[in-house]
Structure 1
């Protein structure tokens, strides 16, 4: 039986920063892979 789209998205794991492992808040228009803190470190 197929899962409903709502149920599918509800069961996805939280997005996690690959650098530090911190959970990131999802944003519909964002494709960022690292968290804000790790991005700021890279810019220095």
Structure 2
């Protein structure tokens, strides 16, 4: 049994995608929002 290098694990994760519009989002460590900024702005209106 071999362990995978943690750096390789994080490099191969798929990009975060907004469930509302499908746009790929920039990951932000301090953010727990699932929607992109554009969809969040629409909800605030």
1:1-44: CA deviations, max 9, x gaps?
A: 11111000000000000000000001111111000000011111
TM-score, normalised via structure 1 length: 0.92
Query: How large is the RMSD of aligned CA atoms in angstroms?
Result: 0.6
| Higher Rg of the two aligned structures | 2
Unaligned runs of 5+ in 2: none
TM-score, normalised relative to structure 2: 0.91
Runs of 4+ in structure 1 off by over 4 angstroms are: none
Paired residues in the alignment total 44
Q: Give structure 1 stretches of 5+ with no counterpart.
A: none
